[in-house]
A and B are shown apart, each in its own frame.
Chain A
């Protein structure tokens, strides 16, 4: 089976976020960018499916600026077979991304599309579910275990109350949660090999889908900070403060 894995280039999770003072957005100049961590988990899962003989080919897709090629290269170095970059310098919303991914899915005919459950920049948690809707496919979101079995897959999902196991028909959409696996680091030889793997360069126009934004961003501001607190010297002092100063116990 073919597996498509969309990967997004985002601000690295270790970076400190600074909001521009004019309200126009978050400062992205000179900041470290990486693959969205949930997408690394998605790539890792696809590679494991290939290693155990379930998957035959892994296609890493990114929708983003020219530099998102680096994100695809990371996926190729981890073990994906080829890449598709749909180049856009504008923000493409989850719905627009889902529409492009639907067109790619129609073209490639994968059995699984594995996505991260959310991107750690806009925290929307939408794209996988939207893609499933557009394709009319089942969706297994927030997944910590996937076991394909013939034309079905058994999936364990992380839900508010604990874990839920469902069975889905294939083809299907899967979105990853943190406990699905621990992504590997690309080895140096594999990084070198990845340079020779092909990346198809595309534009949203190639897929003929309307990706004009539906949600207008008006301003972006920093959150209200918390006022500085105090250090206490002992457990007894802490309990006293909580009772008599904060009044919370």
Chain B
């Protein structure tokens, strides 16, 4: 078996999600090659070559792949698949965009968001926002798989795979990149942070995120997250949303502030090691899954918490 792993990157940095997808690929078993498709992405190829367990890195450097547009990238991957039995990618928004296109071009049914590898063709995956776990067997000759990154540890980086430059595939000419608006932050990335402080509708404004959530996040070196209600209301931007249809996180510590605990939110954070809930409603469902619950007004509790943490360190 030879497996192609699709690297997640921004042309400068290889994302931790790739190392996690690699661990899933290794569990399937076989030779593993990593595809780095980008523009000016040489350093990403170098980082990928250092991942433990990779035999080879395929590097395709071309304008076509500068922004991860699905149409050209899917053609590139599909063209390579004659030599591979499986393609595995982390379930990031970019791979969620591209991989089903690859699967359909190969006439393969994709298995999305796997939680474990039971054997080379059998996997578990969540359905109904993680309220049920299916064991499924993929019967197609080739496999197309996306990986829930919180379910797999990251591969180490003591490897030294060879890097092979490969040619670009044809340009389908269907779409073009116009621009992007990326959230800039000095905080850890949400999906790989050790601690997350998340705010919900109870926080009541974007300004309050700055006043009540940020100081606690600062004191803990934490990332900030949000519920859908907080994002819909415009308190935080879409990339902060944790949940069934947002990001899935599993930090060491998740502090949910002014979040009620709807199943769609729980789906994105219930595998966190320790969960803290701060909510003024003692009946809030979030308390049923919290390790530590505090019934309190967040506008009183959060400043106290920031101060207490300042003392503690």
A contacts, CB < 8 Å to B: 11, 13, 17, 19, 26, 38, 93-95, 98, 117-118, 120-134, 136-142, 144, 154, 158-169, 172, 177-179, 213-223, 226, 228-236, 238-239, 241-243, 246, 248-249
Contacts and interface: CB of A to CB of B under 8 A. Distances in A.
Identify the 6 closest CB pairs spanning chains A and B, nearest first. A129-B100, A214-B109, A138-B174, A133-B104, A130-B104, A126-B100
A178 B245 contact: yes
Contact of B104 (A98, A140, A233): A98
Given A130-B101, A130-B104, A230-B292, A239 B180 contact: no
B255 to A, nearest CB: 9
Contact of A231 (B94, B100, B232, B294): B294
B105 A223 contact: no
Nearest to B304: A235
Contacts of A121: 127-128
A68 B169 CA distance: 41
A216 B118 CA distance: 14
A232 B292 contact: yes
A233 B132 CA distance: 34
A246 B294 contact: no
B232 A179 contact: yes
Looking at chain B's contact residues, the main secondary structure is mixed
A218 B136 CA distance: 5
Contacts of B128: 11, 17, 26, 120-121, 123
A160 B92 contact: yes
Contact of A248 (B99, B173, B252): B252
A17 B266 CA distance: 14
A106 to B, nearest CB: 15
A179 B135 contact: no
A239 B175 contact: no
B111 interface: yes
Given A138-B174, A239-B309, 8 more contacts: A123-B244, A125-B96, A126-B100, A130-B103, A142-B96, A163-B238, A164-B181, A246-B253
Nearest to A243: B312
A154 B177 CA distance: 10
16 contacts: A95-B110, A123-B112, A133-B100, A133-B103, A141-B96, A160-B94, A161-B239, A162-B183, A166-B175, A179-B231, A216-B136, A218-B137, A228-B288, A230-B291, A234-B294, A242-B276
Contact of A161 (B109, B182, B276, B296): B182
Interface in B149-204: 172-183, 191, 195
Contacts of B10: 161
Interface in B38-89: 67, 69-71, 74
A141 B70 contact: yes
Contact of A159 (B104, B126, B239, B287): B239
A179 B251 CA distance: 26
